[in-house]
Amino acid sequence: MNPSEFIHPEDAAALRQLESIPGFPTLVKKFYAMGFEKLQYGMNMASNIRLSNSQLPEIYKRLPPICEKLGIAEPEFYLAMNPNPNAYTFGDTKIFITVTSGLVEMLNEEELDAVLAHECGHILCRHVLYHSVANYILSGMDMSGLLGTFSVPLRFSILYWQRKSELSCDRAGAIITSPQTVAYVMARLAGGPQGITKDVNLKEWAKQADAYEEIRNDGLWNKTLQTYAIMAQDHPFAAVRVREILKWGQTPQYTAIKDGLGATGTQCPSCHKVINSNWKFCRYCGHKI
Q: What is the pLDDT of residues 20-34, one digit of tens each?
A: 877 776 777 777 677
Lowest mean pLDDT among 57-66, 218-227, 247-256, 258-267: 258-267
Residue 70: pLDDT band by 50, 70, 90 thresholds? very high
Q: How big is the chain, counted in residues?
A: 289
CA 146/CA 192 separation, integer angstroms: 42
Q: What is the pLDDT of residue 130?
A: 80
Of the candidates 231, 72, 85, 66, the one whose C-alpha atom is nearest the C-alpha of residue 158 is: 231
Say yes or no to pLDDT of 94 above 80.
Answer: yes
Q: What is the pLDDT of residue 55?
A: 98
Say yes or no to pLDDT of 175 above 80.
Answer: yes
Residues contacting 258, CB < 8 A, separation 6+: 175
Q: Decide if 116 contacts 174 (C-beta within 8 A).
A: no
Say yes or no to pLDDT of 264 above 50.
Answer: no
Say yes or no to pLDDT of 273 above 90.
Answer: no
CA 172/CA 175 separation, integer angstroms: 5
Q: What φ, ψ does residue 77 adopt, rounded to 5°?
A: -130, 125
CA 190/CA 184 separation, integer angstroms: 10
Task: State percent of the chain over pLDDT 90.
Answer: 61
CA 185/CA 130 separation, integer angstroms: 25
- Whole-model pTM: value is 0.84
For strand 266-267 and strand 96-100, is the pairing parallel, antiparallel, or unpaired? unpaired
Lowest mean pLDDT among 28-32, 89-93, 256-260, 261-265: 261-265
Task: State percent of the chain over pLDDT 70.
Answer: 87
CA 167/CA 140 separation, integer angstroms: 25
Q: What is the pLDDT of residue 217?
A: 87
Say yes or no to pLDDT of 149 above 60.
Answer: no
CA 206/CA 114 separation, integer angstroms: 19
Q: What is the pLDDT of residue 140?
A: 55
What's the mean pLDDT when you consider all of the chain? 87
